[in-house]
Copies of this chain bind each other. A is one copy, B any other.
């Protein structure tokens, strides 16, 4: 069975699933996160913003998943320790709790598993879990927070990543204009935007980009209909499963807040939404959108920008004489 057939089948299954659920639309509104432990979220927020989790003391989770900029760095591929050029585009952290797995190739099962990766990746934050924990363990105010949240004075990487994931789970973006439209406010979209949404459904985009996150819930081949040309060496799911059939299968990215999360694709090669829609039509759907159609789809996509997480910039507890020092210029 070819990928385009798999895709057609998927589209039918999505439609059937939506019909079964009694829903008229293949996209559902995003629901604001329920916070289970506010104290854990606060701790996770501090850790997310703390560059001392990196070897340099300069790079935090927020450096590449910048919550001022849609939870991304808006770069083709990210900058890591010693200005290392990363191999892949940083996906947004917004609504990432809805992904079926984390990273483009899904190699981390969940946000907790993901959070430990960049800290110890030599090309990203370039620290080690041991040193990151030593740093936090040396800071009394952090230890007190870990005690409050986890009931133990002992910091470990499991607690660190649990807290970061708890914060990240709160980073959902409800109340987009499209969600208002879904909930019945038909004035929330313009005629061009609703036409774009109709095209988005009728053309088959919705086969992969569906659900509350408008994506994030399946792996699909980049270049399902015709080969995608790229200089990127990323192999996608193949690297995780070892199966040749998984070559160039990537997690379908969420389209929520897509206006904010440029540039697009795993290689960041599409600088604009217009380019991204053109390429997707061509390599995934075998379709050439007219300029007017492309513009309508782009207009629809821009209605997916939701309310961005709003919170006070965290103030981090200072290091002290016992805290291991950052090593910014050590390679």
Please state the number of chain copies in the assembly: 2
A315-B308 contact, Cβ under 8 Å, with A82-B83, A83-B83: yes
In the complex, residue of chain B having the shortest beta-carbon distance to the beta carbon of A258: B318
Asked if A51 is at the interface (CB within 8 A of a chain B CB), the reply is yes
In the complex, residue of chain B having the shortest beta-carbon distance to the beta carbon of A331: B83
Asked if A272 is at the interface (CB within 8 A of a chain B CB), the reply is yes
Say what secondary structure dominates the interface of chain A: loop
A79: shortest Cβ distance to chain B, in Å? 5
A58 to B301, CA, bound (A): 26
Task: Return the contact of A274 from the options B67, B69, B272, B321 (Cβ within 8 A).
Answer: B321
Task: Return the contact of A70 from the options B74, B260, B318, B329 (Cβ within 8 A).
Answer: B318
Count contacts on A: residues with CB < 8 A to the other chain. Answer: 43
A306: shortest Cβ distance to chain B, in Å? 11
Known A58-B75, A82-B83, A262-B319; 10 more pairs at CB < 8 Å: A57-B73, A57-B74, A70-B318, A85-B329, A271-B321, A271-B325, A272-B320, A310-B315, A311-B313, A312-B312
The residues of A with any CB-CB pair to B shorter than 8 Å are: 49-52, 56-58, 63, 66-70, 73-76, 79, 82-83, 85, 259-260, 262, 271-272, 274, 308, 310-316, 318-321, 325-326, 328-329
